[in-house]
Amino acid sequence: MTGHPVFAALYDRMNGAAEREIFAPLRARLLADLPGVVLDVGAGTGANLPHFRAATRVHAVEPDPAMRTRLTAKLDQAAVPVDVTAAPAETLPFADAAVDAVVFTLVLCSVADQAKTLAEARRVLKPGGRLAVLEHVRNTGGHARWQRLATPLCIWLAGGCHPNRDTPTAIEQAGFTFEEREILDPLPKIVPTRPWLYATASVR
């Protein structure tokens, strides 16, 4: 896979202010208490790394080699053991019921097949395991139309991002039940990647 080297090189710089002011606190709240073995799917450039506190090990899965290079360079930011795996979200190289939690943050918008990705998450989760999600999702009304129009440009510019995916419905259709679910709208109205889903879920 050739990846998205330009997008990877600019990613942290483009998101710096929003990450510090908005998303880092949300990541901390979502991730700090996840116990046991945690699978961070689409780990990107490693924004989640500082926020894992209770895990015994984190498997960071990232298929894009340009993203993976930046992720690996940040491993010293983690307070828990982390290993990095090159694999697509649709075919995770882990056994059934192998992990205690699966994390998706800013990745379900860009996976090639959302249904397969969520089915894989369900497969690798242990009974009683937790799905943790922070993702932008489809809006309603006029903004949904803007998201649909902006999608081809976002796919090209932003590493395959689809701003118009109905991720909450996809999660439920994959057999998960939401335990905690919030819809947040912290970004300017013109931004196509809004609102945001903050959620935890378990297998039905």
Q: What is the pLDDT of residues 132-158, one digit of tens each?
A: 999 989 888 878 787 788 788 777 777
pLDDT tier at 5 (50, 70, 90 boundaries)?
confident
d(CA 67, CA 88): 13
Number of Cβ within 10 Å of residue 156's Cβ equals 11
d(CA 22, CA 69): 25
Q: What is the pLDDT of residues 111-124, one digit of tens each?
A: 999 999 999 999 99
172 φ, ψ (degrees, to nearest 5): -65, -40
Q: Is 62 in a helix, a strand, or coil?
A: coil
Termini Cα distance of the chain: 35
**CA separation (Å) from 169 to 103, 118, 165, 173?**
17, 11, 9, 6
% the chain with pLDDT above 70? 95
- List the chain domain ranges: 5-203
CATH architecture label of 5-203: 3-Layer(aba) Sandwich (3.40)
**Does the pLDDT at position 110 exceed 70?**
yes
**CA separation (Å) from 187 to 121, 190, 192?**
28, 8, 9
pLDDT tier at 84 (50, 70, 90 boundaries)?
very high
Q: What is the pLDDT of residues 7-49, one digit of tens each?
A: 766 666 666 677 777 889 999 999 999 999 999 999 999 999 9
